[in-house]
Amino acid sequence: MGSGFSLTPVLGLIPDENLNLIGGETVPALGGEWLEKLRPADGSPLCRVARSGPEDVERAVAAARAAQPEWAARTPVERGEILRELALLLRDRREEASAIVAEETGKAEELALGETDAAVEMGLFVAGEGRRSYGRTMTASMKHRTVLTLRQPLGTAALIMSFNTPLPNVAWKAFPSAFCGNASVVKPSEHTPASASFFATLALEAGVPPGVLNVVHGLGTEAGAALVEHPGVDLVSFTGSAETGRWIGGTAGRRLAKVCLELGGKNALVVCDDADVENATRWALASAFSNSGQRCAAASRIVVFDGVYDELRERLVAGAAALPAEPVISDAARVRILDAVEAAVEAGATLLAGGAAPEEPGFRVAPTVLEGAAPGDEISRTELFGPVTLLYRVRDLEEAIALVNDSPYGLTAAIHTASVHRAMRFAELVQAGVVVVNGGTHGSEPHMGFGGVKDSGTGWREAGIEALDVYSDWKIVNVIADPALT
């Protein structure tokens, strides 16, 4: 890019200024504006982030469009090999990557290390598709005619994502997008700029050509919206809230761009009266409170049969009270979550644990358990994306399934039972993209498709080989081998 402003990408630390990466060069926002990023763990300033606008998006899309044809002309095997290099580089640098994630999110380094490893695994899984990217051949009614399928890149992809697991969120999109022969413009969350920049800089080092993976930092309503509206963007792949997804779907849909939306959840974990209550409690605590509840698959509704309700409540409340108050991503998030809990209590719910911001520094919320909220109450229907879970008492499986399905969302659901019949009935009737029996409301592994129904998504699946369908088109090729014979 002829900007005249090129800085050497800095690896291994969070720079004071997080710049865009466009066409292989690090550049500030053209308007010269910055956002201030604070450390969630103690509220102190961490870095400044380029506050990009439409003119920066314009340059990034131009860089992507310029780089894409040559990248697409390479064989899938070659693209896979380069992406494997990227995954291996990330594995080599996993401690640095995780330190960056821990710093910008406030999560424990151990958790960040697990996430980095998941991002590496996603890269290795996608890279393997280079030698495994199968299509189909079909029979035809006409003699001497062969019909086969070819995967085609889409062109330029806008990849917009949330902050909660920042490296996997980038990896889940950037690897399959690049593998399929697209060039991408990543708009990471404004809350987690540094890990996305680190990933994209490693991509350059691994041999991903300049312009194939660009990063534009900034606010969703500015840089993000400009990307969604840009006519040069062929696919918008978005992971974030249903509210934002609704706007993106409408806006990109109007210009007939392909849109993949992975949205929120109000996931339920059901505990039947034949369950191992101790095990169910362990999973409920992990599902509700890990990553400070900032998981699309978090168990924010615990639905318990009458017969084991009191025992489970006692264990859950004791378990929640014993957990530390972890940071959420921003002070605004902390205030929003605590306000929602307060409003629920005013509306008649009972606070059993947490519900307060501890004295410690940072944007912390104590693990919170409420009971007595009605299924139609605001708190029962709204995703809080924080460490808050609600207890509901039900008579039987039918009532449990009706309650689980009485939600705008349908991402994941779990049931704890010793009965195969109950487990299978739940799996068949529950409105969710992922069902777990005797475990947590956990997300996917790299080789498993992940996504939801209703307000949780628009039917696409991320990860797994299903992800390739997001980032490519199928072309049906008809070959009539000998026209003289037909």
Say how many residues touch ligand NAD, by CB under 6 A: 28
Residue 192 touching ligand NAD (CB under 6 A): no
Beta carbons within 8 Å of 329's beta carbon, 6+ residues apart: 40, 105, 106, 163, 164, 191, 294, 363
Residue 152 touching ligand NAD (CB under 6 A): no
- Tell me the window of 156-164, 359-367, 370-378, 390-398 that interacts with ligand NAD (CB under 6 A): 156-164
Does 222 participate in catalysis according to the annotation? Answer: no
| Residue 101 exposed, middle or buried by CB count within 10 Å (0-12, 13-18, 19+) | buried
* Site for ligand NAD, residues 260 to 319, rule: CB under 6 A: 262-265, 296
Three-state secondary structure call for residue 44: coil
Tokens of 79: 């693209």
Residue 247 touching ligand NAD (CB under 6 A): yes
Cβ 245 to ligand NAD shortest distance, Å:
7
Q: What share of the chain is helix, strand, coil (3-state, %, to 5)?
A: 40, 25, 35
Of residues 101 and 296, the one with the C-beta less far from ligand NAD: 296
| x-marked contacts with ligand NAD along 162-181 as a string, rule CB under 6 A | xxx-----------------
Q: CA-to-CA distance for 49 and 294, rounded, in angstroms?
A: 22
Report the residue number whose CB is nearest to ligand NAD.
220
Catalytic residue among 296, 326, 371, 383: 296
User: What is the torsion angle, in degrees rounded to the nearest 10, for the CA atoms of residue 440, residue 271, residue 352 and residue 286?
Assistant: -10
Cβ 161 to ligand NAD shortest distance, Å:
6
Residue 222 touching ligand NAD (CB under 6 A): no
Does 371 participate in catalysis according to the annotation? Answer: no
Of residues 349 and 432, the one with the C-beta less far from ligand NAD: 432
Residue 160 touching ligand NAD (CB under 6 A): yes
Cβ 464 to ligand NAD shortest distance, Å:
13
Which of 71, 305, 363, 385 is the binder for ligand NAD (CB under 6 A)? 385
What's phi and psi for 29, nearest 5 deg?
A: -65, 140
Cβ 383 to ligand NAD shortest distance, Å:
5
Of residues 308 and 467, the one with the C-beta less far from ligand NAD: 467
Listed residue (293, 339, 349, 350) closest to 320, CA to CA? 293
Tokens of 221: 């309503």
Tokens of 304: 């318990």
E-only strand ranges, 311-371: 326-327, 350-353, 364-365, 368-371
| DSSP H helices in 18-146 | 54-73, 76-92, 94-105, 109-128
Beta carbons within 8 Å of 73's beta carbon, 6+ residues apart: none
| x-marked contacts with ligand NAD along 424-463 as a string, rule CB under 6 A | ----------------------------------------
Q: Which residues are catalytic?
A: 262, 296
Give contact residues for ligand NAD (rule: CB under 6 A).
160-164, 187, 189-190, 219-221, 224-225, 228, 239-241, 244, 247-248, 262-265, 296, 383, 385, 411
